[in-house]
Structure 1
Amino acid sequence: MPKTLACLDIETTGLSPDRDKIIEIGVAIFDFKERKIIKEFSTFINPGVAIPSQVTNLTGITDADVKTAPKIADIKTELEEFIRDYPIVGHNINFDIEFLNANGFEIKNLRLDSIDIAHIAFPKTDSYSLEIIGKILDVEERGKHRALSDVKSNIEILYKLFDLYFSKTPDIKNILEKSASPWKEVIKIASENCKTFKLNQKKSVAKSQKKVSFEEDKLLAEIADLVPENFIEENPENKTIICAPEIENGIHEPANYLEQKLFEKFLQKETFTPEETVFALKIIPLIGDREIARNELTLPQNGKDLWWDFACASLPENIIKKLTTDKTILISHRTLAKIALQMPELIEGSTLIILDADELFEHTRESLTVRYSMKRLGESDTVTMLFAHLGIMAEKYGEGFEFKLEEHHFDTPEWQKVATLIEKLPQEDRVVKFLNKSKKYSENLNLSIRIFEDGTPLLTITPLNIGAFLEEKYWSKAKRIQLFSSTLTFAEESPKYDFIKSSLNLPLDIKITPSDEKKIYIEKTSSDLEKLMEKEEKPIYVLTGSQRACEQIHAESALNLKNAGIKLLAQNSSGGIGKIKSMLKETPGKTVVVGTYDFYKQAKPEIKTLIIFRIPFPHPNAVQIKCPEAEKFKKYALPATMIKLKKIGLKAEKIISLDGRMPEYL
């Protein structure tokens, strides 16, 4: 049983092991059981190339620091003798070892990724970066993004993660005995030597100080910021369905719930892969008398894939009971679409309140979109042949990784073979029935084939007649309907609310309640973006049209702004959404965030100034509506984008546009 481990971290000039270079290495050999560091190794590395400014901004390492440092080949023997055959711990350790192996090393030691243990200890958190996890655990900050400092922090974090997990977790010996996880033996030591540990729980800050009539109801407290006071009746006569874009509490679609019987059966397996081990250990402490929802968890990518093996195919019985008995229910836009298809009687005669109604069209379309993979349809010769022919068709007629079927493609010999194979699938499954109905051309459906990097096809069917669906399933059934949003129109729209009414097929007498439809002035300028980021009031959000633009702005301006005492955070370049949210909270008055509209929606940062670098019009292929191609921009892309911009603009005190296409008012 290994009790001596090596913890390793490197700093590099970039993210590619093949193109970029190592500039610093830090390693500590430590006794895991006794919790003490035995010896340390640390050195700068001369990369033979200039260090990019964004790397200096991140690490503080300059060309002068590495000028007289050894080359990577010069320390190879010393480092290999130092590490020996100890298991190597690191946060995202594959990155470090792949870099070393690309630079002449042949490290074959057991790899122990501490992100796995962070996922086990924290079922849900904004970010699993070493920096953010360290702050949550009150680990002393020894210096960000310096190799040996990060190594020492990583070791302390590892101890605290295990102590936290085993302070609240039942016996997991059965899982460990059958696990193929590289952490298996280390976890056993941790379970036998853990110390009592409790998080320093800070007082939570309420999302809103606004009082609502349902003040004690956590479901309705969640939407307090989205509705005016007294908007929702107390003790309503009819069932009231409150529908919001995203919800934490409330009722979700079936796939958001864990099928506990399937999970319990899974725990009886003979063996567990490393990924299955992390998944099981993450969920076991949550098992109890209530339903476990997907939104309670932050899952790694392989965990997201595993979730679908245990997701409910239909709503759990106690959730159905809640839906049918509660007078007021809170659900998401996407869930309402599923309910309308599977339990239409719930909407009949109800009071239907749609919050952020401008997002209803997109969310309904996403909910009704069906994606067919080989895994979803099950393994069989018919399914294998079906997807082989889809791949052949995409290769023959498509360009790039995604191929949209036009009307004439449905008459090709290739599609006829696909249609014949679809008919041979078991028709009891609801999703297969829909696939069978969709095999012929329809102006109300968009079919596309996407080819993944491994060559696997994915067939996606997207409905285009969303307005007709809403009219049939929502507006014609509900007794009372009310739409609410911070904005549902924009300055140049005439007549007002035309886009919302036409895209959602709204009845003429429906009540629309915008919170504020004042015009917002846009200051148009051709000034240098970096100067604007430096002088305007912060926090600032710089809105771009693409992730590439975010990366470019960060690379060009991060170091200069840092020297001016300003923190520049960019989508992906500075970490994930959770990490950026946490970093923004530290120094909001000195921070600029650069991101796309979708990033803003997820991060929801508080801002003083909005800088529109590029208007985020959707790509023409992304506009999937039942409409002549030439009219898509005017009827959908333009009004939808202006409303999105106004929603962000209402959160800012000042709006500046560097895009000359921007109107003077929103």
Structure 2
Amino acid sequence: MPQQLSIFDQNESPSQVASRKSHIANRQFICLDIEATGLNPENEKVIEIALVKFDDNKIIDTYQTLINPERDVPEEITHLTGIKSEDLYKAPKIGEVKNKIKEFIGDLPVVGHFIEFDINFLNYHGFNFNNIQLDTYELAKIILPSEESYNLEVLGHKFHITHENAHRALDDVLACIELLKILQEQIRDIADNVWPQINHILKKGQCVWAEEFLFWQNKSLQSSDNDFQTFFPNQKTTTKQQATESDVLDIECQALNKNFIGNQPVIFQPSYYLDIDKFIILLKQEVLSPLETIFCLKMILVIDKFQKSYSPDNPDLISKKIVKLFNEEKNLWQTVSHDFYSLLQTKFWRQTQKNLAIMITHEFLYELIKANPVNFNKMKSLRICNPDLFIKHLLSNVNQSIYLNNLLATGKNSANLNNNLTILFGLLGIFYEKLFGTEKSEQEIIPKQLNDISWQQIKKMIENFKKIYSLPLKITTLLDLILNIDFDNYVFTLNKTEKSEVFLKFYPKNFPQKISLLNNYFSEIETHNEFPLSLSENCYIQHFLDTKININDKDKKTEKNQIFLSDIEQILSIINNQNDTDYIFISSSERNSNNLYTLLFDQIDKENTAILAQQVNGSIGKIQELWAQNTSSNRILILKYENLHSFLFKHNEKLKAHVVLIIYNLPFDYMKNPVNKISSAKFKNTFLEFAIPRVTLEIKNIINSFSKIQNRETQTFCLDRRIQNYNNALIENLSTMSDIIL
């Protein structure tokens, strides 16, 4: 996206000022949307374009046309848009309407939902637009900071926007204009006491929507003074808490996996909560980057909403639960969130200690183990629910990850430093490819590999950073870890994701001993499962956890269910011949989900059956909303194992009369993964004593969640034939809960 000018920019040329002011005075915009044969402009073509010129009061002009892509339209695009190849044979080619489109748009600001995609696509095909781009997706993320999804269809449904033909260009444009009007109304409704904070942020930062905020606010507020102390709540206590060995609070603590929380009141890890003091430090910086500007605007609106329900008698904290964070925003959140020291000084925590029983998340325990705080009072007891999931994610949460491309620097030299961090990230990618080629996975690094010249260049660049820049403590600490890798105490890995992000991880070799740190904070510790364990599952948990922790699943009884061993052909036959049914496929990876989606899409009756897959059709939030809105006779949903629990909790009442759960593939761990190599080192037979119990416990968890569906006919199938292998070890473990029907 081209660099956008701020209304506060003092370095604009006279012509730039005149041009910008004329657009503000005229308040005319172009809303644009295209449909294409795919997402990649290098390989795909435009098949439809729609443009609407409008101002604050009315639509001025409209232009819409189909485009002949000179190639066939893929079936999935026809299914999505309704546009068929034969519809386009007589349509003009893109070059034939290029001048008309450019003339229609002129130099007006261009509005759209994910407008960067549309502009980049057209520019790749020769349009060379350099207009101001106003993305309603970005504005919605600021104004509506708590939404699960910012998809145009989902927001349209929320605000009752007429949008009958989603994924047709003109309908999308008209829906986008309606959404913009609604967001403008939300800006006008911002409370007077919030505007000084917004103006403070806009003066320091960069935001393409700055003009819109200033246009709609009460003009008398533009010069009002900002007062941090009166706007932000004081959430800290006046006295410091000191823990002593003799202090044991009479509190029973229960730890839950985050996917099993539901509506229960629970205390999350410290980094889940916003530390107001740290956020104010961010606001007081001399300059705010574009990312920081958007983040601060979003958080100010979240804080204002929170303030309206805040009570000193029942103190609470602002948490990630009430704000939707994206990508780099999550890293920025870490810089303004609580740690154990600050959390334990809050009124919220003091109020919590008055309870006789509290619930916490597994992540709370992970951060407790990592931080080992001295000011944490010992509690009476701890009950770890879902101990298998607690173990499964333990090492991943006590490790140290370094995302060089996501490190954020602030201050006068931040732009230069961030550019150099980007170069460093590139060098890390070169180093990865030298060692491991183009394979995208997590790879363990051994000492001799660090003699490579590429690694020496990385070290030299880091050393120069430390000499030239005054670095934040967080960045300094991470860079020191890279310079002084301790192979005796850590396993060091290099990771390359499907999105080609490269990052480093440090795993402590002594992490099993770290579990014993929990004994410093709880007098008694036990585990609890909702389902009976097999002997090998029990041994796995007992062997992995400290021996002082009691395994509690005695007298646990459950009605056995049936898992039918099947194949994809039989499932497809059921789907195409049975109506009023929800089919939920469970997959262990994004790659498997993609393959399954392609397989099903080609063979189902799309007139009667809708199909949605995690990542293929969007994030988990988006597809859950689209699924709930869909009225097809049959619905297929492809999810990862970890998302089934929260999905069923949220949508239990919206399920159809028949619900079928299909285990597409068993959740075996990749045993060469360093996490599993370290975790399994203490087991004599890694496969039978470590890998097998982890698989069956994961399956039991999803079966347990599925069994709670009420007033529906349910069936469970497994398509992975490996369930019969390994001397029936899997079937034997599952037999305490399920009968496998071969």
Decide: shared fold, TM above 0.5. yes
Matched letter for residue 672 of structure 2: N
Which residue of 213, 216, 226 corresponds with 1:190?
Answer: 216
Q: Distance in 2 between matches of 1:396 and 1:104?
A: 36
Pairs within 5 Å for 1:69-80: 69-80=91-102
1:315 aligns with 2:368: no
Q: Distance in 2 between matches of 1:245 and 1:437?
A: 35
Match of 1:582 in 2: 625
Which residue of 366, 371, 374 corresponds with 2:396?
Answer: 366
Which residue of 372, 383, 386 corresponds with 1:356?
Answer: 386
1:84: Cα distance to partner? 1.0
SS of residue paired to 1:64: helix
Asked if the contact 2:536–2:689 (Cα under 8 Å) also holds between the matched residues in 1, the reply is no
Which residue of 491, 507, 512 corresponds with 1:462?
Answer: 507
**1:380-402 deviation digits (Å, cap 9, x = unpaired):** 9xx99999997887566555466
Gaps of 5+ in 2: 1-20, 220-247, 311-315, 708-713, 725-730
1:300 aligns with 2:326: yes
Match of 1:450 in 2: 495
Which residue of 193, 207, 215 corresponds with 1:181?
Answer: 207
Asked if the contact 1:253–1:315 (Cα under 8 Å) also holds between the matched residues in 2, the reply is no
Query: For residues 465 and 541 of structure 1, do their structure 2 counterparts lie closer, same or farther at Cα, with a shift above 3 Å needed?
Result: farther
Q: Distance in 2 between matches of 1:436 and 1:70?
A: 57
Match of 1:206 in 2: none
Asked if the contact 1:487–1:643 (Cα under 8 Å) also holds between the matched residues in 2, the reply is no
1:298: Cα distance to partner? 0.5
SS of residue paired to 2:492: strand
1:641: Cα distance to partner? 1.6
Matched letter for residue 280 of structure 1: C
Q: Distance in 2 between matches of 1:456 and 1:102?
A: 24
1:15 aligns with 2:43: no
1:156: Cα distance to partner? 0.6
Match of 1:259 in 2: 275
SS of residue paired to 2:206: coil
Q: Distance in 2 between matches of 1:176 and 1:391?
A: 36
Query: For residues 12 and 406 of structure 1, do their structure 2 counterparts lie closer, same or farther at Cα, with a shift above 3 Å needed?
Result: closer
Match of 1:242 in 2: 254
Asked if the contact 2:537–2:693 (Cα under 8 Å) also holds between the matched residues in 1, the reply is no
Percent identity reads 25
Matched letter for residue 720 of structure 2: D
Match of 2:553 in 1: 512
Match of 2:596 in 1: 553
SS of residue paired to 2:128: coil
Query: For residues 398 and 245 of structure 1, do their structure 2 counterparts lie closer, same or farther at Cα, with a shift above 3 Å needed?
Result: same
* TM-score normalized with structure 1 length: 0.81
Match of 1:642 in 2: 696
Query: For residues 487 and 280 of structure 1, do their structure 2 counterparts lie closer, same or farther at Cα, with a shift above 3 Å needed?
Result: same
Match of 1:282 in 2: 298
Range with bigger deviation, 179-188 or 383-392: 383-392
Q: Distance in 1 between matches of 2:557 and 2:214?
A: 58
Asked if the contact 1:484–1:513 (Cα under 8 Å) also holds between the matched residues in 2, the reply is no
Which residue of 575, 598, 615 corresponds with 2:666?
Answer: 615
Range with bigger deviation, 126-135 or 54-63: 54-63
1:435: Cα distance to partner? 4.7
Q: Distance in 2 between matches of 1:509 and 1:546?
A: 33
Range with bigger deviation, 583-592 or 633-642: 583-592
Pairs within 5 Å for 1:136-535: 136-169=158-191, 170-171=194-195, 172-191=198-217, 238-246=250-258, 250-287=266-303, 288=307, 291-313=317-339, 314-316=341-343, 317-318=345-346, 319-322=348-351, 324-340=353-369, 341-343=371-373, 346=376, 348-373=378-403, 397-399=435-437, 400=439, 404-405=443-444, 409=448, 435=481, 439-442=485-488, 445-450=490-495, 458-470=503-515, 472-474=516-518, 478-487=522-531, 489=533, 493-495=534-536, 497-507=538-548, 509-512=550-553, 516-528=557-569, 529-535=571-577
Asked if the contact 2:586–2:661 (Cα under 8 Å) also holds between the matched residues in 1, the reply is yes
Asked if the contact 1:11–1:23 (Cα under 8 Å) also holds between the matched residues in 2, the reply is yes
Query: For residues 479 and 547 of structure 1, do their structure 2 counterparts lie closer, same or farther at Cα, with a shift above 3 Å needed?
Result: same
Matched letter for residue 565 of structure 2: K
Matched letter for residue 553 of structure 1: L
Asked if the contact 1:571–1:599 (Cα under 8 Å) also holds between the matched residues in 2, the reply is no
Q: Distance in 2 between matches of 1:98 and 1:419?
A: 36
1:416: Cα distance to partner? 11
1:70: Cα distance to partner? 1.2
Q: Distance in 2 between matches of 1:637 and 1:577?
A: 27
Q: Distance in 1 between matches of 2:522 and 2:427?
A: 44
Matched letter for residue 357 of structure 1: P
**1:547-606 deviation digits (Å, cap 9, x = unpaired):** 233233334443764534111111122221111111222348631101332443564464
Range with bigger deviation, 262-271 or 19-28: 262-271
Asked if the contact 2:68–2:93 (Cα under 8 Å) also holds between the matched residues in 1, the reply is yes
Match of 1:220 in 2: none
Query: For residues 568 and 661 of structure 1, do their structure 2 counterparts lie closer, same or farther at Cα, with a shift above 3 Å needed?
Result: same
**1:99-121 deviation digits (Å, cap 9, x = unpaired):** 11122211111111111111112
SS of residue paired to 1:28: strand
Gaps of 5+ in 1: 194-235
Q: Distance in 2 between matches of 1:597 and 1:488?
A: 20
Q: Distance in 1 between matches of 2:555 and 2:63?
A: 62
Range with bigger deviation, 405-414 or 143-152: 405-414
SS of residue paired to 2:491: strand
1:658 aligns with 2:719: yes
Match of 2:727 in 1: none
* TM-score normalized with structure 2 length: 0.73
1:405: Cα distance to partner? 4.1
Q: Distance in 1 between matches of 2:647 and 2:509?
A: 29
Asked if the contact 1:28–1:40 (Cα under 8 Å) also holds between the matched residues in 2, the reply is yes
Query: For residues 274 and 407 of structure 1, do their structure 2 counterparts lie closer, same or farther at Cα, with a shift above 3 Å needed?
Result: closer
Match of 2:146 in 1: 124
1:632 aligns with 2:658: no
Match of 1:4 in 2: 28
1:436: Cα distance to partner? 9.7
Q: Distance in 1 between matches of 2:623 and 2:558?
A: 31
Match of 2:70 in 1: 48
Range with bigger deviation, 629-638 or 610-619: 629-638
Match of 1:593 in 2: 637
Q: Distance in 2 between matches of 1:377 and 1:46?
A: 45
How many residue pairs were aligned?
Answer: 615
Q: Distance in 2 between matches of 1:386 and 1:141?
A: 46
Range with bigger deviation, 295-304 or 148-157: 295-304
**1:239-294 deviation digits (Å, cap 9, x = unpaired):** 11121121585333333232323322433445544333321221112334653223
